[in-house]
């Protein structure tokens, strides 16, 4: 009884590790450093992400860019990510795209809606300038209404000041 | 003997109220004691009205107490009683417990109809303040009748209109910070009679009452994009305002005549102000700048619009003529200023200020002078004025992962800060006109 409980804990610990790995940035390589043989019965499976999938876009290409406080201009890091988005969007031309602009909670509601719109538009303009068909793109702003990180300090705020390139179904 | 009571509220230059009544509460500079009042249980004039008789008295007492301008003499301290509405009042019974104001009432209930009568007395002068009044209607409207009595007390003693028979439309909030659900709700000013106007499937923001209180403008994401809707409070019929493809519209507010809406429209990342005639749908662009122009609010006479803009580099408050012309900046203190709202009296503008990581609700004159901050917290925003311009309600949100938004109110004096009860979280309050 004791032993089997411990075994179950080990299995779930490894399962958690595998899950954590799934969110990592090197997914899609197909490598499996955990030697999953023997754990298949635990419901763990591993496979490379389809490079044409929305998961691949979100996790490997990177679906979001971050902004400094009260700014909507694109940083060098943001442009790198957006260049990757352009390449992917060109290869996967059937997706319609909504760019969602967001703000952190340090600001009044209406202003943050307008600020999020600026951020979304900055991304849209960059994607179009790099060749993405403007008719595939729409923007929306959620202002401070949809935080993904909920602490009230810069570690969270920096994650919330974002523009997310959301894929909305294959249009073809 | 002097019966005049000077009361405090540190509102500069709000004219002294003059009245012939001997009992007189001057809402003016300086702080004096709140006026002590007694509200005995009303006299039940039909059998079965005993509970209502006590409830009415309690609502009146809560209204007056809630202003911070009055002090209640508890019923347990009474030496006298009002057993008949028409019998002469034994003023000595009320003098001895130091009640300066006595409110007596009577209630009768027949079927679903209720009749409420009241009289207000100046105890130390030994006479009635104004004349008695009587309300009749459905029993379900009993709280409104109590609020009307409170409004009569308030106005007869201060010389100004009250704000008790009014409602609040607000955004009701539930769920965790990262999965917040929002819906529109309406309630009495004191938090009673909450009704939900929308479900919480779609994000909704910043409802605003029409000048007659029967319609509400708000922003909803029900199409996936922010858009302005017009909702009729009775019957909940709604329609989307005409919009333009690829744009977002938000931050609407009615003109004082109820016929137009001023709002923000975003196009290609830039947010400007527009006005729309509600009947014709005709639009007029009011600002044309690469900066953010939002949170517009009309002056009560409808000739000017106050709004916020970051054209200077940070959020500041500007006033412009509704007809057009160059906006004039009025906020010059440290920090950022937003969400300006013109007071119903026309003499002040309430705003949200951000400075050194703190948020404040404040007021200033319409030329930006005499700025006073009324609150300070991690996040206060979005003031709305009571119909008489004496109280401001706003959103206060606590910080951290478990942060919650709640409604608060504060006197324009900065006194009497307190939470407004709501069933869950609440934000973006808007105060109705009186009697709506």
What pLDDT does A11 receive? 40
Q: Does residue B246 form part of some domain?
A: yes
Residue B337, CB half-sphere, CA atoms under 13 Å: how many?
28
Instruction: Clarify whether residues A35 and A13 are in a common domain.
Output: yes
Instruction: Clarify whether residues A23 and A63 are in a common domain.
Output: no
Instruction: Clarify whether residues A68 and A132 are in a common domain.
Output: yes
Instruction: Clarify whether residues B147 and B54 are in a common domain.
Output: yes
Q: Vertex B80, ends B74 and B82: CA angle to 5°? A: 95
Q: Does B289 touch chain A (CB under 8 A)?
A: no
Instruction: Clarify whether residues B132 and B95 are in a common domain.
Output: yes
Instruction: Clarify whether residues A18 and A69 are in a common domain.
Output: no
Q: Is the pLDDT of residue B40 over 50?
A: yes
Q: Provide the shortest C-alpha distance from residue B384 to chain A (in Å).
A: 14
Alpha helix ranges (H) inside chain A: 2-22, 54-56, 76-91, 109-129, 154-160
> What domain range includes position B8?
4-158
Q: Is the pLDDT of residue B33 over 90?
A: no
Q: Is the ipTM of this complex over 0.90?
A: yes
Residue at which a domain ends, from B158, B181, B209: B158
Q: Does residue A48 form part of some domain?
A: no
What pLDDT does B23 receive? 73
Instruction: Clarify whether residues B308 and B406 are in a common domain.
Output: yes
**Least CA distance to A148: which residue of chain B?**
B178
- Sheet of B348-355: strand order equals B336-342, B348-355, B358-365, B372-373
Q: Please provide residue B365's backbone torsions phi and psi, each rounded to the nearest 5 degrees.
A: -70, 165
The sign one gets for the Cα dihedral A147, A148, A153, A158 is negative
The token duo for B74 is: 């508890």
Q: In this predicted model, what pLDDT tens digit does every residue of B85-139 receive, in sequence order?
A: 999 999 999 999 999 999 999 999 999 999 999 999 999 999 999 999 999 999 9
Instruction: Clarify whether residues A33 and A81 are in a common domain.
Output: no
Domain CATH number, residue B115: 3.40.50.10070
Q: Does residue A142 form part of some domain?
A: yes
Instruction: Clarify whether residues B375 and B424 are in a common domain.
Output: yes
What pLDDT does B28 receive? 60
Domain count, chain A: 2
Instruction: Clarify whether residues A127 and A87 are in a common domain.
Output: yes
Residue at which a domain ends, from B158, B175, B202: B158
Instruction: Clarify whether residues B299 and B354 are in a common domain.
Output: yes
The token duo for A158 is: 């920096």
Q: Vertex B79, ends B77 and B84: CA angle to 5°? A: 115
Question: Which has the higher per-residue pLDDT, A109 or A169?
Answer: A109
Q: Does residue B109 form part of some domain?
A: yes
Cβ neighbour number for residue B28 with a 10 Å cutoff:
18
Report chain A residues whose CB lies below 8 A from the CB of B251. 110, 113
Instruction: Clarify whether residues A35 and A88 are in a common domain.
Output: no
What pLDDT does B67 receive? 95
List the beta bridge partners of residue B136: B115
Least confident of B5-14, B318-327, B339-348, B394-403: B5-14
Instruction: Clarify whether residues B70 and B140 are in a common domain.
Output: yes
Instruction: Clarify whether residues B328 and B187 are in a common domain.
Output: yes
3-state DSSP assignment of residue A34: coil
Please count the residue pairs, one from chain A and one from chain B, whose beta carbons lie less than 8 angstroms apart.
103
Residue B421's closest CA among B407, B403, B431, B409?
A: B407
Instruction: Clarify whether residues B138 and B234 are in a common domain.
Output: no
Q: Does residue A47 form part of some domain?
A: no
Q: Is the pLDDT of residue B156 over 50?
A: yes
What pLDDT does A146 receive? 98
Q: Is the pLDDT of residue B216 over 80?
A: yes
Q: Is B301 within 8 Å of A154 (Cβ atoms)?
A: no
Q: Is B313 within 8 Å of B300 (Cβ atoms)?
A: no
Instruction: Clarify whether residues A69 and A15 are in a common domain.
Output: no
Task: Round to whole Å and give the CA distance between A139 and A166.
Answer: 10
Task: Round to whole Å and give the CA distance between B2 and A112.
Answer: 54
Q: Is the pLDDT of residue B360 over 60?
A: yes
Q: Does A110 touch chain B (CB under 8 A)?
A: yes
Domain count, chain B: 2
Instruction: Clarify whether residues B95 and B148 are in a common domain.
Output: yes
Q: Provide the shortest C-alpha distance from residue B199 to chain A (in Å).
A: 17
> What domain range includes position A64?
54-170
Instruction: Clarify whether residues B252 and B317 are in a common domain.
Output: yes
Q: Is the pLDDT of residue B22 over 70?
A: no
The token duo for B300 is: 């009560």
For chain B, state the CA radius of gyration. Answer: 23
Instruction: Clarify whether residues A29 and A102 are in a common domain.
Output: no
Q: Does residue B45 form part of some domain?
A: yes
Q: Does residue A58 form part of some domain?
A: yes
Instruction: Clarify whether residues B189 and B132 are in a common domain.
Output: no
As a whole number, the mean pLDDT across chain A is: 81
Using CA atoms, how far residue B165 sits from A141, B3, B188, B264, in Å, is 37, 28, 8, 31
Q: Please provide residue A13's backbone torsions phi and psi, each rounded to the nearest 5 degrees.
A: -65, -40
Residue at which a domain ends, from B130, B158, B186: B158
Secondary structure percentages of chain A, helix, strand, coil, to 5: 45, 15, 40
Instruction: Clarify whether residues B293 and B416 are in a common domain.
Output: yes
Across the interface, do B226 and A113 touch by the CB < 8 Å criterion? yes
Q: Does B294 touch chain A (CB under 8 A)?
A: yes
pLDDT band at B436 (very low <50, low <70, confident <90, very high): confident
Cβ neighbour number for residue B195 with a 10 Å cutoff:
12
For chain A, state the CA radius of gyration. Answer: 20
Q: Does residue B436 form part of some domain?
A: no
Task: Round to whole Å and give the CA distance between B60 and A159.
Answer: 49
Q: Is A29 within 8 Å of A49 (Cβ atoms)?
A: no
Q: Does A73 touch chain B (CB under 8 A)?
A: no
Q: Provide the shortest C-alpha distance from residue B173 to chain A (in Å).
A: 11
Q: Is B253 within 8 Å of B340 (Cβ atoms)?
A: no
As a whole number, the mean pLDDT across chain B is: 93
Q: Is B21 within 8 Å of B122 (Cβ atoms)?
A: yes
Instruction: Clarify whether residues A145 and A74 are in a common domain.
Output: yes
Put residue A35 in one of left, alpha, beta given phi > 0 → left and psi -120 to 50 → alpha.
left
């Amino acid at each position: 009884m004791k032993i089997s409980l411990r075994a179950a804990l080990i299995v779930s610990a490894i399962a958690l590790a595998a899950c954590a790995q799934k969110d990592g940035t090197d997914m899609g390589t197909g490598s499996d450093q955990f030697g999953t043989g023997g754990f298949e019965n635990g419901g763990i499976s591993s496979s490379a992400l389809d490079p044409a999938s929305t998961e691949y876009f979100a996790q490997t290409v990177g679906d979001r860019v971050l902004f400094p406080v009260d700014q909507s201009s694109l940083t060098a890091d943001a442009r790198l990510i957006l260049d990757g988005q352009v390449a992917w969007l060109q290869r996967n031309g059937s997706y319609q795209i909504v760019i969602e602009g967001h703000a952190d909670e340090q600001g009044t509601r209406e202003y943050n809606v307008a600020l999020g719109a600026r951020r979304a538009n900055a991304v849209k303009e960059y994607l179009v300038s790099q060749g993405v068909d403007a008719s595939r793109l729409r923007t929306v702003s959620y202002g401070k209404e949809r935080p993904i990180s909920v602490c009230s300090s810069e570690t969270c705020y920096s994650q919330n000041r974002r523009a997310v390139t959301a894929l909305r179904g294959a249009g073809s | 003997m002097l019966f005049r009571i000077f009361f405090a509220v540190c509102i500069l230059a709000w004219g002294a109220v003059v009245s012939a009544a001997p009992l007189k509460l001057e809402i003016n500079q300086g702080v004096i004691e709140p006026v002590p009042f007694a509200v005995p249980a009303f006299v039940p004039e039909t059998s079965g009205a005993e509970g209502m008789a006590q409830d009415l008295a309690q609502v009146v007492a809560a209204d007056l107490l809630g202003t911070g301008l009055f002090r209640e003499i508890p019923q347990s301290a009474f030496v006298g009683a009002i057993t008949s509405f028409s019998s002469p009042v034994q003023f000595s019974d009320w003098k001895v417990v130091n009640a300066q104001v006595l409110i007596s009432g009577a209630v009768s209930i027949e079927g679903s109809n209720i009749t409420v009568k009241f009289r207000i007395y100046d105890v130390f002068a030994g006479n009635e303040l104004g004349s008695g009044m009587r309300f009749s209607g459905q029993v379900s409207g009993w709280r409104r009748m109590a609020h009307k009595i409170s409004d009569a007390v308030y106005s007869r003693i201060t010389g100004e209109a009250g704000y008790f028979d009014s409602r609040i439309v607000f955004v009701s909030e539930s769920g965790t910070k990262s999965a917040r659900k929002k819906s529109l709700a309406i309630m009495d000013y004191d938090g009673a009679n909450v009704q939900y106007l929308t479900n919480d499937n779609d994000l909704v923001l910043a409802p605003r009452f029409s000048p007659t209180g029967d319609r509400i403008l708000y922003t909803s994401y029900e199409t996936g994009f922010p858009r302005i809707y017009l909702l009729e409070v009775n019957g909940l019929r709604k329609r989307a305002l005409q919009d333009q493809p690829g744009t977002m519209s938000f931050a609407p507010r009615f003109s004082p005549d109820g016929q137009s809406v001023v709002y923000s429209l975003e196009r290609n990342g830039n947010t400007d102000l527009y006005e729309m005639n509600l009947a014709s749908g005709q639009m007029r662009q009011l600002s044309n700048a690469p900066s953010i122009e939002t949170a517009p609010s009309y002056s009560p006479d409808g000739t000017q619009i106050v709004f916020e803009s970051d054209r200077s580099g940070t959020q500041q408050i500007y006033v412009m003529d509704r007809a057009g012309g160059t906006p004039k900046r009025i906020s010059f203190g440290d920090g950022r200023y937003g969400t300006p709202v013109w007071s119903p009296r026309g003499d002040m503008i309430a705003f949200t200020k951000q400075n050194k990581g703190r948020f404040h609700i404040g007021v200033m004159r319409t030329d930006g002078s005499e700025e006073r901050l009324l609150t300070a917290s991690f996040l206060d925003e979005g003031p709305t004025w009571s119909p008489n311009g004496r109280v401001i309600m706003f959103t206060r949100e606590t910080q951290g992962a478990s942060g919650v938004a709640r409604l608060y109110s504060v006197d324009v004096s900065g006194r009497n800060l307190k939470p407004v009860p709501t069933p869950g979280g609440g934000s973006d309050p808007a105060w109705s006109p009186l009697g709506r």
